[in-house]
Amino acid sequence: MRHGISRRDLLRGALATCAVAALPPFLTGCGHLAPVTGTEPSLRQKIAQMLMVGFRGTSLGDSDTIVRDIETHGIGGTILFDRDVILGQYGRNITSPAQLKELTRQLRSFASVPLFIAVDQEGGKVARLKENCGFSPTVSAQYLGTLNDLTITRMYADSIGATLAENGLNMNFAPVLDLNINPDSPAIGKVERSFSADPAVVIKQSRVFVETHDKNRIATCIKHFPGHGSASADSHAGLVDVTNTWTEIELEPYRALIAEGNCRMVMTAHIFNSKLDPDYPATLSHSTITGILRQRLGFNGVVVTDDMQMGAIIQHYSFETAVEKAIMAGVDIIMFPNNLSYDPDVTPKVIDLISRMVDSGTIPVKRINESFDRIMAMKGRI
């Protein structure tokens, strides 16, 4: 058999023993994996589930590093792109519906446990599945928020969810909950990614987005916590300081969706706010992720980082510091899309690094277990 039976059985057993009550509605009714063994998965297996990694290629062969990452290391997920930023060309992972369906089929075939296969399909300018490649047309969040017609929003959001499902994806890094406080914000307002500056509009629009994706069995991920809409710079390029522009109102959409049970997953922002943490940006901040998101707002689901290869992180923190601080902040999945910086061996490097940190006591094993349990709960019925 291609997969080692011990790893398959160990992780299946972990999936089977997850707390089903903790699973969000979009995962229910799919049939539960039966317990195979009572043996605890290894530390490295648990760490691997905390990784989401990107790759190059529109089809896969046994020699591809992403195949190794899934099959041998057992990573938790992957993210797909239409454009390769480093090479400056389209066709990285997505070229057509037929090609994408085959690629996602191949990805699933190498996984011994359910694999998160994610994409950024917000609509408008941030749409990896583009109309000119044969996918359904989309509109921006700003367009929908300006209309503020929930019937139209439902139509477009349902189309996105259905398109993802039809093409073998199961996770959408959307909707964006950032408030359009600064319309000229290069990462948010200027590219029409925000529904509105009014949190009530953002809440209503996002709720519909989550509900339609639930119906299509697509996991949603609200972003960018604790709010990127007031920023005057782009964290892709470097450190973004919102100390003097961010306000508590930016938490309102998160507070509402979490309270009403419409929060499936949260993505962190690489923004710095000295009023929330005098030392670290949100992704690496315990006071922001654990203190505000988990303790104050009550979210106990999966937290994923934004791209850990963005300038805001790699220009200011070592690889080791960024990984350690993210995990200790309360993050569950660390994302390395390999699209701003390309390292085909990032998976074994990160697994080795975190393993050493656990062995040395820098990261408590309890912290790894918490993330592993949250991830397995989310995957329990995919």
Q: What amino acid positions are annotated as catalytic residues? A: 236, 306
Cβ burial 217-230 (10 Å sphere, 16+ → b, else e): bbbbbbbbbbbbbb
Rounded Cα–Cα distance for residues 172 and 122 (Å): 8
CB–CB of 336/350 below 8 Å? yes
Which helix (H) or strand (E) is 56 found in, with range?
A: none
Rounded Cα–Cα distance for residues 362 and 359 (Å): 8
Which helix (H) or strand (E) is 21 found in, with range?
A: none
Which helix (H) or strand (E) is 360 found in, with range?
A: helix 346-360
Rounded Cα–Cα distance for residues 303 and 322 (Å): 15
Phi, psi torsion values for 269, nearest 5 degrees:
-105, 150
**Which residues partner with 265 through β-bridges?**
302
Q: Is 305 left (phi over 0), alpha (psi -120 to 50) or beta?
A: beta
Rounded Cα–Cα distance for residues 85 and 52 (Å): 18
**Is the previous residue joined to 224 through a cis bond, with omega within 30 degrees of 0?**
yes
Q: Which residue in 183, 182, 210, 179 sits closest to 195, CA to CA? A: 179
- Give the strand pairing for 121-123 and 126-127: antiparallel
